[in-house]
Chains A and B, each alone.
Chain A
């Protein structure tokens, strides 16, 4: 067998389509960099697209495995899809699924599947360091949390409060349903004695909140989640920008980072994709990271996928490399990445809004450095878990 077939799934339909497109840009860069060959074998890349729903992701995965007969799938993009593919991977023999960008904690934390690998960090990890920064450096003793009411924000809030409450911070939680576009009554509920707003919202929801908050003349400092300050928000003009400048957040990626690896990655990206974003998105970064991990493991086993991919999966589990942010990546026992997380701040970079790294937490594990059992005993992140007294 001289061909290695790699299938991929991202979202090119529906609301997440821009992120999905960007993911394929950097994947293509990764394959082009090795000229579609690894260990002398040709890589055949078959792309599929879902609409960010688990059912469709699963249907696509089945097609890739059963009809196109791929050896490896890279994907998917969103959390619920990730869990669905993890379950599916368990039913497969001799095939491997490597995550694309999905970030639900449970995909690897609880009931992991032996042939599902994730080289990107996830939602809880991404908040490492932010709680501490908010309490110690910003002096915020009470934050108003404005977050979307579903699993990914739960994970992020969990990561934040894990540190923040320990230090003595108080949190007033204001949950909004996913896709809320009118935040006016939520804004009215922000307590007058709050020191900052912790905004765990993505894309449109974040844009809506910030614009409406600006509209009533709101002026608390904003602390963002990992996908709050994404390109859609940064590149959109408008009144929300007034609030965004100086907003701090944490995550695996920052637009401005002095690391030479990153500078080169961004330069390549801009050259290869003049129509792309100003700087690769978080999805592009995650897909790229996962892809290079696959390529590296393939290289190590000389493209040998025999014996139900035993050698390959073994290699994957032990791969260690540097991601484009210049951070070291390795896997834990559940095949989940341990890597560095950055504190970021939004700056006005010559008329363009960008995120800039100003702090770094190294080797963040999925259990935030805790013992796995103790961490699991904290319970799944949810609306009410954790809670720091005295909220409200």
Chain B
């Protein structure tokens, strides 16, 4: 990122930190906070898609693994799960579970690419949600696990609007920076190389499988963080939280926002949250899906790189082709 972009990022974060002074609680927690927690899951997809060329529909599933894991271990669950413990242990373990799931998905899909990967991850995701729905012993079937209210933070319940908002914000910012950092490491550049030619990448010494699995594990970690927060936000988790529609919704968010840059994930999630909340007041409840479909379709038709792409073009930043990778692009431009 250029200095200007760093400056903008800093300004936006500062603004977000101050928002509670101006915004009503509903906007804070249920529009912005919600956009951030779902945006984190979308971020994991954007990361995979933009840098690795993997369109994974298994991100909601990875989030769901973390969600279910934390629910099974949560001390507040009703009824209490088989592995109840304090949130201090439950949360990291849940994120770990999601990370491992990510690695597992990467392992299963290690030899598939592009559209094949899309289909396979979709099938995995649906399979998992059906499993959660069928398993009554641990996943508690159709009704799911309820009353996952989250830990207390500084003595305040997690679902207090301010607490939720700040935790979501800080997590989102950290993960966002993590992605920007990782793609500048050799790992990130190698991912982009694999996207173009796996065969050549391996001929110059990189282990393609390891990088792929690594990418999915990292995506699982990110999605897992989102999954835990989403579960707290929804006070529980059910198979419908990870079903077909939420799975597709994450893709919709990422695409509306723009797969071209990690920030697109959050833009998309915000747009989605606003539409989801207020569309029914505009168009009537019953045709909400048509509206979402139309907006989504229009954006895909007009701008393959989503709102972020439109914004970039409007801002005139996009004179030429966006340098695909950070690290070396800078060198080429800088010419030392």
Contact = CB atoms under 8 A, between A and B. Distances in A.
Q: Do A and B touch each other in the complex, judged by CB within 8 A?
A: yes
Interface of A: 12-13, 17, 47-49, 51-55, 58-59, 62-63, 66-67, 79-80, 83-84, 87-88, 91, 104, 106, 110-111, 149-152, 177-178, 382-383
Contacts of A58: 234-235
Contacts of B277: 59, 63, 67
Given A150-B133, A150-B141, A54 B286 contact: no
Interface residues of B, number: 36
A111 B78 contact: yes
B289 interface: yes
13 contacts: A52-B240, A54-B240, A55-B240, A55-B241, A59-B30, A80-B144, A84-B235, A106-B143, A110-B78, A149-B134, A151-B143, A177-B130, A177-B134
A151 B145 CA distance: 13
A281 B190 CA distance: 60
B286 A383 contact: no
A383 B130 CA distance: 17
B159 interface: yes
A54 B236 contact: yes
A54 B238 contact: yes
Contacts of B234: 54-55, 58, 84
B285 A12 contact: yes
A48 B276 CA distance: 11
Interface in B108-143: 130, 133-134, 136, 141-143
A53 B288 CA distance: 15
B30 A383 contact: no
Contacts of A178: 133, 142
A53 B286 contact: no
A383 B25 CA distance: 43
Contacts, number: 96
Contacts of B26: 62-63, 66-67
Given A79-B142, A178-B133, A53 B30 contact: no
B83 interface: no
A13 B289 CA distance: 8
Contact of A53 (B240, B280, B289): B240
A186 to B, nearest CB: 16
B243 interface: yes
Nearest to A153: B142
Contacts of B323: none
A162 B141 CA distance: 22
Contacts of A84: 146, 234-236, 238
Contacts of A382: 136
B147 to A, nearest CB: 5
A152 B142 CA distance: 9
A85 to B, nearest CB: 10
Interface in B238-268: 238, 240-241, 243, 245-246
A55 B64 CA distance: 13
Contact of A110 (B30, B34, B79): B79
B243 A53 contact: yes
Contacts of B25: 66
A174 to B, nearest CB: 15
Nearest to A51: B245
Contacts of A49: 280, 285-286, 288
Contacts of A67: 26, 30, 277
A152 B234 CA distance: 22
B286 A83 contact: no
A51 B243 CA distance: 12
Given A49-B280, A84-B236, A91-B159, A54 B144 contact: yes
B230 to A, nearest CB: 8
Given A49-B288, A66-B30, A54 B241 contact: yes
Contacts of B276: 59
Nearest to B231: A55
Contacts of A48: 280, 285
B288 A13 contact: yes
Contacts of A150: 133, 141-143
B228 to A, nearest CB: 15
